[in-house]
Amino acid sequence: MTSQSFDLIVIGGGPGGYVAAIRAAQRGLNVACVDKNPVLGGTCLRVGCIPSKAMLESSEHFAKAKAGLERHGVKLSGVELDLAAMLARKEQVVSINTKGIDALFKKNKIERFEGLGRFVQPGVVDVEGPTGKTTLAAPKIIIATGSNIAPLKGVERDGDRIGTSTEGLAFAEVPQHLVVIGAGYIGMELGSVWLRLGSKVTVFEYLDRILPGIDAEVASEAHKLFKKQGFDFQLSRKVTAAKRAGDGCVVECADAEPIHCDRVLLAVGRRPNTDGLGLETIGVQLDDKGRIPVNEHFETSASGVYAIGDVIRGPMLAHKAEEEGVACADLITTGYGHVNYDAIPAVVYTHPEIAAVGQTEEQLVAANIPYRKGRFAFRANGRARTLDEVDGFVKILAHAETDRVLGIHILGARAGDLIAEGAAAMEFGATAEDIARTSHAHPTLSEAIKEAALAVSNQAIHA
Ligand code: NAI
């Protein structure tokens, strides 16, 4: 068997894999990256984060143009939706981003192989691609194969009317009635897109609240705002079936009448991509959630084989995978590398946005950690007023004895950008007083973070 040899093979070209490949190449390794898709970038760039944010932005412009600018003294009439143009812009954004990865690979001399990578023996990976089979060999291999949409029993996906986020990013016409299954990240983001574009959106959620994992006070306030926007929430409802019925679909759930709609979006979580990798040949066994077990150095039970991103434990977030990609490549090349899992932010790109870093209030209560809480509403922030974006608040949780920041939660306009300060503060082990004593430019939304930090010791100025 002839094979091409490298120092490192990375299986998967998403945010975890491509970043690991680049960092390893920067550190002098000869790197191959295998991806089954002809376009690099993984779910995030192709059918996840990037296209969804493009659609969220465009749909928000449309909603604002239809209603929302009068208060600024801007009167518009005859506003029309050109969905084809909106979808084309989204595709263009995706294409520019994914081509950027191609350029970075060329710059860093990373060799790219298209096809499904499969372990055939320790240190050897077969790539089954459109032009046949190629065999690659390397002493180090990183698995970064990501995740895909979790199925739900009874939901008959047809890749069209009953689909996932992939279909939900590309409906050719605005559904009259869209049923979303799952009030998590995907359900709330893509539900927002189609609600703004004119759909009736019903969200079925198994739990009695939306956005599990997000601080309950934040999620509860967001729930009220989303209801005002027109979302129809059906909480504590377990969907048991969704199938085609005539031109549309029918969704069934326990203890409720079936609902007829024209499209269904399934968004009940994601599961790791490990099928067909040949893990059994290298003796790697999955944990009870189908993930690849790794130690703190991202090493699997097979010597020289590492795993990062959505296939291992932790939140399925692109930036978490990127951090792991860098740390894993650093560990392989230098022996040092670390990810601080306590300071990984999370963002839901609804309107307003939701962003968080660190622990929720519920987690602190459950862990019996004494804390103080500072809360500041955007309503009292000058910049928020000028933007006409007064909904939401910043909440800072700090240790009751040390004042060290344990969690920052933001519901408000541009929360996703604002949370960077919170992540940096937590990375540096800041106290609430540290944030409160830091000058924040005026007038900015970030002043609400300073005020929330002041509020931890009851010293907010504008509250
Ligand atoms: P999710 O885990 O965020 O939410 C799934 C929701 O479905 C939960 O609320 C769950 O209780 C509900 N559910 C489960 N079974 C159900 C049933 N039978 N009937 C009704 N509801 C049911 O998962 P989602 O939204 O699919 O997203 C997957 C992952 O993708 C997220 O956890 C996140 O890691 C990532 N993601 C991140 C984004 C971001 O960073 N902005 C955007 C989109 C996805």
268, 273, 313, 417: which to mutate for ligand 1, most atoms within 8 A of CB? 268
Domain annotation covers residue 439: yes
From the centroid of its chain, how far is CA 354? 12
Between CA 87 and CA 96, with CA 91 as vertex, the angle to 5 degrees is 150
Between CA 15 and CA 22, with CA 18 as vertex, the angle to 5 degrees is 130
Contact between 110 and 32 under an 8 Å Cβ cutoff? The reply is: yes
pLDDT band at 254 (very low <50, low <70, confident <90, very high): confident
Q: Is the CB of residue 187 below 6 angstroms from any atom belonging to ligand 1? A: yes
Q: Are residues 321 and 392 in the same domain?
A: no
pLDDT digits (tens, 9 = 90+) for 227-245: 999 999 999 999 999 999 9
Q: Are residues 300 and 356 in the same domain?
A: no
Q: Are residues 169 and 234 in the same domain?
A: yes
Q: In this prediction, what percent of the chain has a pLDDT beyond 90?
A: 98
Q: Is the CB of residue 355 below 6 angstroms from any atom belonging to ligand 1? A: no
pLDDT at 68: 86
Q: Give the integer Cα–Cα distance in Å for 375 and 377.
A: 7
Q: Is the CB of residue 146 below 6 angstroms from any atom belonging to ligand 1? A: no
Q: Is the pLDDT of residue 208 over 80?
A: yes
Q: Give the integer Cα–Cα distance in Å for 61 and 300.
A: 46
Q: Rounded to two decimals, what is the model's pTM?
A: 0.97
Q: Are residues 173 and 248 in the same domain?
A: yes
Handedness of CA 206, 207, 209, 210 (dihedral sign): negative
CATH number of the domain enclosing 443: 3.30.390.30
Active-site hit among 72, 260, 442, 462: 442
pLDDT digits (tens, 9 = 90+) for 371-415: 999 999 999 999 999 999 999 999 999 999 999 999 999 999 999
Alpha-carbon distance values, 123 to 135, 274, 296 (Å) = 11, 17, 21
Contact between 16 and 146 under an 8 Å Cβ cutoff? The reply is: yes
pLDDT at 418: 98
Q: Are residues 296 and 394 in the same domain?
A: no
Q: What is the Å distance from ligand 1's center to 276 Cα? A: 25
Q: What is the Å distance from ligand 1's center to 142 Cα? A: 26
Please state, rounded to an integer, the average pLDDT across all residues of the chain.
97
| Domain containing residue 435 | 343-454
Q: Is the pLDDT of residue 2 over 90?
A: no
Q: Is the pLDDT of residue 71 over 70?
A: yes
Domain final residue pick, 310, 339, 368:
339
Q: How many domains does the chain have?
A: 3
Closest atom of ligand 1 to 207 CA is: 11
pLDDT band at 317 (very low <50, low <70, confident <90, very high): very high
pLDDT at 33: 98
Q: Are residues 329 and 412 in the same domain?
A: no
442 is an active site residue: yes
CATH number of the domain enclosing 258: 3.50.50.60
Domain annotation covers residue 398: yes
pLDDT digits (tens, 9 = 90+) for 153-185: 999 999 999 999 999 999 999 999 999 999 999
Q: Is the CB of residue 272 below 6 angstroms from any atom belonging to ligand 1? A: no
pLDDT digits (tens, 9 = 90+) for 211-223: 999 999 999 999 9
Domain annotation covers residue 462: no
Q: Are residues 170 and 122 in the same domain?
A: no
Q: Are residues 178 and 114 in the same domain?
A: no
Contact between 427 and 340 under an 8 Å Cβ cutoff? The reply is: yes
Please state at what angle helix 216-229 crosses helix 185-196, rounded to 10 degrees: 20
Q: In this prediction, what percent of the chain has a pLDDT beyond 70?
A: 100
Handedness of CA 279, 284, 288, 292 (dihedral sign): negative
Q: Is the CB of residue 315 below 6 angstroms from any atom belonging to ligand 1? A: yes
Q: Are residues 35 and 144 in the same domain?
A: yes
Q: Number of H helices and number of E strands within the chain?
A: 13, 24
Domain annotation covers residue 313: yes
pLDDT band at 256 (very low <50, low <70, confident <90, very high): confident
Residue nearest to atom 4 of ligand 1 (CA): 184
Domain final residue pick, 287, 317, 339:
339
What are the structure tokens assigned to 232, written together?
């129809």
DSSP notation for 255-285: TS--EEESEEEE-S-EEE--TTS-GGGGT--
pLDDT at 76: 96
Which candidate, 195, 170, 196, places its Cα nearest to that of 180?
Answer: 195
Q: Are residues 207 and 86 in the same domain?
A: no
| Residue 297, SS3 per DSSP | coil
Q: Are residues 353 and 330 in the same domain?
A: no
Q: Are residues 201 and 243 in the same domain?
A: yes
Domain annotation covers residue 233: yes
Domain annotation covers residue 461: no
Domain annotation covers residue 155: no
Domain final residue pick, 234, 268, 302:
268
| Type and span of the H or E element at 51 | helix 49-66
pLDDT digits (tens, 9 = 90+) for 75-130: 999 999 999 999 999 999 999 999 999 999 999 999 999 999 999 999 999 999 99
Domain annotation covers residue 400: yes
Q: Is the pLDDT of residue 1 over 80?
A: no
**Which residue blocks in 108-230 are alpha helix, DSSP H?**
165-168, 185-196, 216-229
